[in-house]
């Protein structure tokens, strides 16, 4: 479907066949990102790997992110941090009284925040503030600003509206908070002693300019935190709403772990039903209902229609994941078994029937980190605890209303009661 917002043509894609044309057949012609005031400013003038136009610079930054943050080099630190974090969470939940209600939206976000910050910055930074704001608050504000401005759509009179409405000032404030916080992090690394384990910032300070490093750190924070936490919230919501799935999953996890006192990251490798549950969650609830916008760089044809340079392409991962033509009449049901006897990869492959991480050369490089974090966290919480809905709400009546953009969250937080599982039973 071709739409016009102001002076901008937008092509909206909502079928897997058309998605395959965009993300595979014409990937090279549709692999740039559109200009916007906020993406330019908040990526330190397109020094980053997510919003930069297609260029050698983007290729280089993506490579650095993949090898220095997401690659094998960081994975040992990541596994250690994750295991220590989960031990703390299990200890804290165990100390609750039997009727304590836990807000899982907050808990999952805090887990991801701790782990990602410790791997990137070497410290949690969750309590640290710059000008009275935490890093998470600053990143949330940056996501709001990335929603766009009048001048992105109406180049002639938009700039006047942006100035009068205070949008320009708000963008500058957001940028100075982001820049200031990250400068504080970099400055604190200069006083680090040589015996401390090296983190992402340590390893990148010599190879990148300060703006390049800051831009990549913003990509990590914007790309990893909400998306991974939202995946876990939706997975847990579906598990609790479907007691059959919860039972089957707990049987798998508990039979693989036996009576061990703690889980290791490697234990998850054989949990195939868990992987099916996470995959089914991403099909029904892709955290980003639309992929990051693409921009056409040279003429191509999609579905027989001409797509001209400058056209913005929006691909609906939400619509494609629920399309009854691919997923039959059970397309809106949560049924992990649909992935039995199919490859369990989360990204790549030949099918475009579900694309929570996009595809092609601009596809999400963080899918492995995100899914292994989700799998490990869920395995721990279902191994050590049974979970009940509070206040007499029946599991099957759990509210599943969605809201939000750019990320689709639960409308109401997921609140549950953990009951410690007695392994001697
Ligand atoms: C469940 C979690 C996640 C989801 C659902 C998700 C989803 C996405 C989507 C839909 C895109 C756009 C893909 C496209 O245009 O084809 C994307 C891009 C990106 N994601 Fe993720 N993401 C997740 C986790 C992460 C993590 C953990 C990182 C860690 C650094 C990350 C970093 C990025 C970056 C840098 C890009 C831009 C890639 C480029 O333009 O070349 N994401 N992600």
| pLDDT tens per residue, range 90-124 | 999 999 877 899 999 999 999 999 999 999 998 88
Tell how far the Cα of 357 is from the centroid of ligand 1, in angstroms.
6
Residue 160 has pLDDT above 90, yes or no: yes
For atom 20 of ligand 1, which residue has the closest CA? 364
Contact of 114 with 421, CB cutoff 8 Å: no
Q: What is the pLDDT of residue 73?
A: 82
% of the chain residues with pLDDT over 70: 100
- Number of CB atoms found within 10 A of residue 132's CB: 7
Which residue ranges make up each domain of the chain? 2-400+411-420
More confident residue, 85 or 424: 85
- Is 47 exposed, middle or buried (CB count within 10 Å of its CB: 0-12, 13-18, 19+)? buried
Q: Whole-number mean pLDDT of the chain?
A: 93
pTM of the model: 0.95
**Domain 2-400+411-420 homologous superfamily, CATH:** Cytochrome P450 (1.10.630.10)
Q: What is the pLDDT of residue 424?
A: 66
Taking residues 219-235, what's their average pLDDT? 97
Q: Is the CB of 369 under 6 A from ligand 1?
A: yes
Tell how far the Cα of 360 is from the centroid of ligand 1, in angstroms.
12
Q: How confident is the model at residue 11 (pLDDT cuts 50, 70, 90)?
A: very high
Q: Is the CB of 220 under 6 A from ligand 1?
A: yes
Taking residues 205-224, what's their average pLDDT? 95
For atom 19 of ligand 1, which residue has the closest CA? 364
Taking residues 301-328, what's their average pLDDT? 94
Tokens of 207: 């190879």
Report H helices in 21-166. 37-42, 56-64, 72-94, 104-121, 135-145, 150-153, 158-164
How far is the C-alpha of 413 from the C-alpha of 402, rounded, in Å? 11
Q: Is the CB of 43 under 6 A from ligand 1?
A: no
Q: Which atom of ligand 1 is found nearest the CA of 220?
A: 30
């Amino acid at each position: 479907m071709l739409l016009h917002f102001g002076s901008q043509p937008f092509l909206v894609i909502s079928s897997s066949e058309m998605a395959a044309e965009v993300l595979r057949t014409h990937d090279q012609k549709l692999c740039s990102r559109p200009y916007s005031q906020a993406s330019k400013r908040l990526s330190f003038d397109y020094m980053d790997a997510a919003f930069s136009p297609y260029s050698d610079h983007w290729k280089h930054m993506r490579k650095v992110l993949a090898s220095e943050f997401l690659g094998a080099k960081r994975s040992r630190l990541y596994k250690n941090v994750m295991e220590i974090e989960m031990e703390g969470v299990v200890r804290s939940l165990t100390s609750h009284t039997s009727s304590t209600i836990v807000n899982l939206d907050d808990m999952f976000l805090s887990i991801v925040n701790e782990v990602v910050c410790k791997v990137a910055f070497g410290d949690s930074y969750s309590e640290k503030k710059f000008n009275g704001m935490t890093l998470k608050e600053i990143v949330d504000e940056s996501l709001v600003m990335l929603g766009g401005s009048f001048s992105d759509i109406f180049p002639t009179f938009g700039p006047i509206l942006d100035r009068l409405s205070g949008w320009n000032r708000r963008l500058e404030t957001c940028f100075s908070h982001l820049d200031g916080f990250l400068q504080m992090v970099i400055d604190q690394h200069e006083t680090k002693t040589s015996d401390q384990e090296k983190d992402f910032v340590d390893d990148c300070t010599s190879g990148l300019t300060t703006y390049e490093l800051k831009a990549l750190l913003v990509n990590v924070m914007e790309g990893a935190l909400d998306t991974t936490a939202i995946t876990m919230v939706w997975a847990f919501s579906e598990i609790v709403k479907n007691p059959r799935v919860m039972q089957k999953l707990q049987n798998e996890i508990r039979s693989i772990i036996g009576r061990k006192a703690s889980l290791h990251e490697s234990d998850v490798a054989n949990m195939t039903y868990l992987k099916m549950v996470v995959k089914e969650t991403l099909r029904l609830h892709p955290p980003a209902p639309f992929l990051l916008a693409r921009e056409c760089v040279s003429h191509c044809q999609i579905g027989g229609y001409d797509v001209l340079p400058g056209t913005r392409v929006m691909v609906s991962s939400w619509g494609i994941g629920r399309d009854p033509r691919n997923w039959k009449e059970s397309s809106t049901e949560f049924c992990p078994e649909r992935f039995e006897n199919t490859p369990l990869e989360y990204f790549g492959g030949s099918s475009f029937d579900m694309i929570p991480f996009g595809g092609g050369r601009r596809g999400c490089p963080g899918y492995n980190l995100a899914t292994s974090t989700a799998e490990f966290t869920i395995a721990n919480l279902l191994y050590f605890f049974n979970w009940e809905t509070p206040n007499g709400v029946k599991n099957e009546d759990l509210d599943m209303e969605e809201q939000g953009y750019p990320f689709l969250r639960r409308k109401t937080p997921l609140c549950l009661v953990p009951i410690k599982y007695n392994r001697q039973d």
